[in-house]
Amino acid sequence: MDIARTPSTADGNPHLADAPPEPQEPAIIRREDYTPFAWLVPETHLDFELGLESTRVTATLKVERNPAAEASPVLRLNGDGLKLESLHCDGEDCAGWAMDGDDLLVTLEGDAHTITIVTRFDPSANSQLMGLFASNGMLCTQCEAEGFRRITFFPDRPDVLSTYTLRMSGPKAQFPVLLSNGNEVATGEDGDNHWAEWHDPWPKPSYLFALVAGQLVANRDTFTTMGGRRVDLAIWVREGDLERTDHAMDSLKRSMKWDEEVFGREYDLDIYNIVAVSDFNMGAMENKGLNVFNTKYVLADADTATDGDFDGVEGVIAHEYFHNWSGNRITCRDWFQLSLKEGFTVLRDQLFSQDMGSEAVCRIGDVRVLRGVQFPEDSGPLAHPIRPDSYREISNFYTSTVYNKGAEVIRMMRSMAGPERFRKGTDLYFERHDGEAATCEDFIRAMEEGAGLDLEQFRLWYRQAGTPKIEASVLHSDKTTLLALKQSVPPTPGQPDKKPMPVPLRIAMFDRATGQHRGEQLVIMDEAQKGINFDGFAEPPILSINRGFTAPVTIERDIADADLAFLAAHDDDPFARYEAMQDLVTRHLVAAADNRLDDAAKASAREAIGQALANIIGDEAVDDLMRGELLVLPSQTYLAEQVLLADPAAIHREREGLKAWLGAELEDLFTAMHSRASKVPYSLDAAAKGARKVKVQALVYLAAGAPDVARAMAWEQYRGADNMTDRQGALMVLAGIDGIERTNALLDFYNRYEGNDLVIDKWFSVQAQSLHPNAIEHVKALADHPDFTLKNPNRVRSLYMAFAANPHAFHAASGEGYRMIADLILQLDPINPQTAARFVTPLGRWRRLEPGRSALMREQLERIAKADKLSRDTYEQVTRSLG
Ligand code: 0A1
Ligand code: ZN
Express each pLDDT in 583-594 by its tens digit: 999 999 999 999
How far does residue 143's CA lie from ligand 1's centre (Å)?
A: 9
Q: Is the pLDDT of residue 225 over 70?
A: yes
Stretch (H or E) spanning 620: none
pLDDT digits (tens, 9 = 90+) for 249-300: 999 999 999 999 999 999 999 999 999 999 999 999 999 999 999 999 999 9
Confidence at residue 13, expressed as pLDDT on a 0 to 100 scale: 53
Q: How far is the CA of 544 from the centre of ligand 2 (A)?
A: 33
- Say yes or no to pLDDT of 17 above 80: no
Please determine, for residue 8, whether its predicted confidence score (pLDDT) is greater than 50. no
pLDDT confidence tier of residue 5, bands split at 50, 70 and 90:
very low
Residues 352, 356, 362, 366: is their CA dihedral positive or negative?
Answer: negative
Q: Give the model confidence (pLDDT) of 522-548 as tens digits.
A: 999 999 999 999 999 999 999 999 999
Using the predicted structure, report yes or no on whether residue 156 has a pLDDT greater than 60: yes
> pLDDT tens digits, residue range 329-349?
999 999 999 999 999 999 999
342 close to ligand 1 (CB < 6 Angstrom): yes
CA-CA distance, 639 to 643, in Å (whole number)?
8
Q: How far is the CA of 401 from the centre of ligand 2 (A)?
A: 13
Question: Hey, what domains does the chain have and what are their CATH numbers?
Answer: 43-214 (2.60.40.1730), 331-462 (1.10.390.10)
Q: Which residue's CA is the closest to the ligand 1 atom numbered 8?
A: 144
Q: How confident is the model at residue 25 (pLDDT cuts 50, 70, 90)?
A: confident
Span from the CA of 173 to the centroid of ligand 1 (angstroms):
30
Residue nearest to atom 5 of ligand 1 (CA): 144
Q: Comparing C-alpha atoms, which of 140, 144, 223, 131 is closest to residue 179?
A: 140
CA separation for the pair 429, 432 (Å, rounded):
5
Q: Rounded to whole angstroms, how far apart are CA atoms 688 and 680?
A: 6
pLDDT in tens, 431-482: 999 999 999 999 999 999 999 999 999 999 999 999 999 999 999 998 899 9
Pocket test for ligand 1, best of 150, 255, 398, 404 (most atoms within 8 A of CB): 398
User: Could you tell me what percent of the chain has a pLDDT over 90?
Assistant: 97
Query: Closest ligand 1 atom, CA of 327?
Result: 1
Residue nearest to atom 1 of ligand 1 (CA): 285
DSSP β-bridge partners for residue 186: 197
Coil, strand, or helix at residue 206? Answer: helix
Q: Ligand 1 mean position to 683 CA, how many Å? A: 32
DSSP reduced 3-state for 639: helix
Q: Are 765 and 780 in contact (CB under 8 A)?
A: no
Residue 1: its pLDDT value, please?
A: 55
Q: Strands 177-180 and 103-107: what pairing? A: unpaired
Alpha helices per DSSP H over 264-358:
307-322, 338-356
- Rounded to an integer, the average pLDDT of 674-703 is 98
The sign of the torsion formed by the CA atoms of 117, 123, 127, 130 equals positive
What pLDDT score was predicted for residue 370? 98
Per-residue pLDDT, 752:
98
For residue 430 and ligand 1, the question of a CB distance below 6 A is answered with no
Output the pLDDT for position 22.
53
* Closest residue by CA, ligand 1 atom 3: 285
Average the pLDDT over 706-723 and give the result.
98
pTM listed for this prediction: 0.98
> Is 320 one of the catalytic residues?
yes
The rounded distance, in Å, linking the Cα atoms of 863 and 474 is 50
pLDDT of residue 478: 85
Ligand 1 contact via 286 beta carbon (within 6 Å): yes
The ligand with the least distance to the CA atom of 349 is: 2
- Establish whether residue 292 lines the binding site of ligand 1, counting it when its CB lies within 6 angstroms of any ligand atom: no
* Active-site entry in 144, 146, 314, 320: 320
The answer, yes or no, to whether any atom of ligand 1 lies below 6 A from the CB of 281, is: yes
Ligand 1 mutation pick, 135, 277, 281, 285, max ligand atoms within 8 A of CB: 285
Give the whole-number percent of the chain exceeding pLDDT 70: 97
Those residues whose C-beta lies under 8 Å from the C-beta of residue 350, and which sit 6 or more positions away, are: 362, 366, 407, 411
CA 207 to chain centre: 18
CA distance 470 to 489: 9
| Residue 500 banded pLDDT, cuts 50, 70, 90 | very high
- Stretch 232-244: mean pLDDT, rounded? 98
Cβ(542)–Cβ(515) below 8 Å: no
Instruction: Give the pLDDT confidence of 57-109 residue by residue, as tens digits.
Output: 999 999 999 999 999 999 999 999 999 999 999 999 998 999 999 999 999 99
Ligand nearest to the CA of 343: 2
Mean predicted confidence (pLDDT) in 405-429 = 99
Q: Residue 58: its pLDDT value, please?
A: 99
pLDDT of 7 over the 50 cut: no
* pLDDT > 50? residue 665: yes
Query: Residue 731: its pLDDT value, please?
Result: 98
Mean residue pLDDT across the chain: 97
CA distance readout (Å), 28 to 77, 391, 393, 513: 19, 6, 8, 61
Higher model confidence: residue 21 or residue 455?
455
Instruction: Look at ligand 1, atom 13, and give the residue with the nearest C-alpha.
Output: 342
Evaluate whether 207 touches 145 at the Cβ level (below 8 Å).
yes
Helix (H, G, I), strand (E, B) or coil at 182: coil
The rounded Å distance from CA 311 to ligand 2 centre is 16
| Exposure string over 224-256, b if 16+ CB within 10 A, otherwise e | eeeeeeebebbbbbbeebbebbebbbebbbbbb
DSSP β-ladder status, 390-391 and 469-477 = unpaired
Whether residue 71 is preceded by a cis peptide bond, meaning omega within 30 degrees of 0, is: no
User: pLDDT value at position 54?
Assistant: 98
How many angstroms separate the alpha carbon of residue 344 from the centre of ligand 2? 9
User: Is 135 a pocket residue for ligand 1 (Cβ < 6 Å)?
Assistant: no
Tell which one of 208, 282, 395, 396 to mutate to probe ligand 1, the residue whose CB is within 8 A of the most ligand atoms.
282
Query: Which ligand is the nearest neighbour of the Cα of 291?
Result: 1
Give yes or no for residue 228 having a pLDDT over 50: yes
Mean pLDDT of all residues in 400-423: 99
Q: Is the CB–ligand 1 distance for residue 873 below 6 Å?
A: no
